[in-house]
């Protein structure tokens, strides 16, 4: 239950995806045992676990719908049974549907918000009940909440909700020695981000930050690892990890 990486345990939701997998591998490199959560893509989650164990780390896969409180209670149970407890919860699971507010499909809105808002709430709720003293809860938002790109309204609405949940939960956990923060990535070179974009669009976004490149999943994972371990005095914050874009 101490603070050293070797006895810490993390649950990473969406751990089979680009940022989630990078987070799982980065935390494992610090000596943290990792439960790699997935919803649908078992093979990718197993590949993430294989990458961790191949590098000498400890990892298992766990599966469930983040918006289903019973499924996620079972996921937390599995992680605790495998590793003895949970110190870090990183909630990277999310979906993104883009389109203008004026004609956005409300069923698509409901589906996205079920994963992004209810899912983040369910995971945060379980984390609030279970994370051990000295632990950290880390949600994932987006730098587009500052950038305000047209077409991102429904998605930003879901992620602003996540930031609000994070900021209040940090205060509600007073006295527990648990930090609660949000990482808000900028454009990051993941399949989710690159899908459907032209090379010109990708190049323009890469040129926009002062550092003149897209983020890498490893860049986001570095911020998560900071919040998950040494950053004990950072609490109730949104950390914009975007190369200076916003």
Which residue numbers are catalytic?
155
Distance separating alpha carbons of residues 174 and 181, to the nearest angstrom? 14
Other CB atoms closer than 10 Å to residue 234's CB: what's the count?
14
Query: What are the backbone angles phi and psi of residue 8, rounded to the nearest 5°?
Result: -90, 150
DSSP lists the bridge partners of residue 184 as 240
Length of the chain: 246
**67: closest CA among 7, 130, 123, 28?**
123
Question: Alpha helix (H) ranges present in 55-100?
Answer: 69-83
CB 115 within 8 A of CB 67: yes
H/E element, 24: helix 18-29
Distance separating alpha carbons of residues 127 and 184, to the nearest angstrom? 20
User: Which tokens is 113 given?
Assistant: 């918000």
CB 215 within 8 A of CB 188: yes
CB 25 within 8 A of CB 47: no
């Amino acid at each position: 239950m101490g603070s050293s990486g070797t006895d810490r345990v993390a649950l990473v939701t969406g751990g089979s995806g680009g940022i989630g997998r990078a987070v799982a591998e980065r935390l494992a490199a610090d000596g943290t045992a990792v439960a790699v959560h997935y919803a649908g893509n078992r093979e990718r989650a197993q590949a993430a676990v294989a990458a961790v164990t191949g590098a000498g780390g400890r990892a298992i896969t766990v599966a469930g719908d983040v918006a289903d409180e019973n499924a996620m209670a079972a996921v937390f149970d599995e992680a605790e049974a495998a590793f003895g407890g949970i110190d870090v919860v990183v909630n990277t699971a999310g979906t993104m549907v883009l389109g203008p507010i004026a004609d956005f499909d409300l069923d698509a809105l409901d589906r996205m918000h079920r994963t992004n808002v209810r899912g983040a709430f369910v995971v945060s709720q379980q984390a609030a009940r279970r994370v051990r003293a000295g632990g950290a809860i880390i949600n994932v938002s987006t730098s587009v909440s500052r950038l305000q790109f047209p077409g991102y309204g429904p998605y930003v609405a879901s992620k602003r909700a996540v930031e609000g949940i994070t900021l209040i939960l940090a205060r509600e956990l007073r006295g527990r020695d648990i930090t609660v923060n949000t990482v808000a990535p900028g454009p990051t070179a993941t399949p989710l981000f690159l899908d459907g974009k032209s090379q010109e669009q990708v190049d323009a976004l890469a040129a926009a930050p002062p550092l003149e490149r897209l983020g890498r999943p490893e860049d986001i994972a570095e911020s998560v690892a900071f919040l998950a371990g040494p950053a004990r005095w950072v609490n109730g914050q949104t950390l914009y990890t975007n190369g200076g874009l916003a």
